[in-house]
Amino acid sequence: MALVPKQWYADANPNERNNYVEILARNSGLLAWLLALLRIDPTYFLSINHRRLVFQTASFTGYRKVIIPIDSISSSYYGYHKPWKQAVGIFFMALLAGGQIITASIGNARDADGPGVLWFGVGIVLLGLLIAAIYYFLNKQLVIGITDNNGADHEMVLKKSVIENKEINEQQMELVTRIVLTIIDNQKAQKLHNPSAIV
């Protein structure tokens, strides 16, 4: 399920809570937005500092918090997915509906309503194309994730928030992964130079 970001922080300098990464997200959709206004929406929160990664979810059904020490992270990844199959499906349905109307209008071309029906069919096809294009571009989903040493993936799938007008792009996702890998490398270097150090 895709989430939309409510708050986003990712920087090489930690914030006031000493976190390099903080992502707060909610479920997508109008109903979820209305619940967010009432402060009763399910939320998803990811934070990363130099010691640990925290991933927590809170909803009507309960609360879950996963804490992973930085040295227990094996990899960090990101990517995106565009819903081209759904967009093609939307256009195909409009093409079928519009094609049926166009075909019927050609058979009745001599009627007074023939040209109007023809343009109505063409309009349905063009409207379907427009809706498919909007759906394709507005529903691009980006994923950011962490894999721990046990092979478990902890990820967030995000898309643009139209209502809150927050958009996360690949460059911001890449920054998060670079921050995680830099923290891990710094931890390893510190342990190598001072194995007894407690971070």
Q: What are phi and psi of 121, to 5 degrees?
A: -65, -45
Same domain, 71 and 157: yes
Cα gap 21→156, rounded to integer Å: 13
Cβ proximity of 124 and 98 under 8 Å: yes
Same domain, 12 and 57: yes
Same domain, 74 and 149: yes
Same domain, 133 and 150: no
Residue that terminates a domain, selected from 137, 160, 176: 137
In a domain, 18, yes or no: yes
- Is 0.75 surpassed by the pTM of this model? no
Structural domains counted in the chain? 2
Query: What is the per-residue pLDDT for 179?
Result: 92
In a domain, 199, yes or no: no
Beta bridge partners, 80, equal 142
Give Cα separations from 173 to 78, 178, 190 (angstroms): 6, 9, 26
In a domain, 172, yes or no: yes
Residue that terminates a domain, selected from 92, 120, 137: 137
Query: What is the per-residue pLDDT for 198?
Result: 44
Tell me the residue range of the domain where 148 lies: 3-80+141-193
Q: What is the mean pLDDT of each run of 10 residues along the chain (199 residues)?
A: 85 93 82 62 87 87 88 89 88 89 72 70 90 85 89 87 71 90 84 58
Same domain, 111 and 175: no
Same domain, 17 and 75: yes
Same domain, 32 and 112: no
Q: What is the DSSP string of 113-144?
A: THHHHHHHHHHHHHHHHHHHHHHHHHT-EEEE
Query: What is the per-residue pLDDT for 23?
Result: 92
In a domain, 9, yes or no: yes
Cα gap 103→36, rounded to integer Å: 48
Q: Which of 120, 199, 164, 144 is nearest to 22 (CA)?
A: 144
Q: What is the DSSP string of 95-118?
A: HHHHHHHHHHHHHTTTSTTHHHHH
Cβ proximity of 50 and 186 under 8 Å: yes
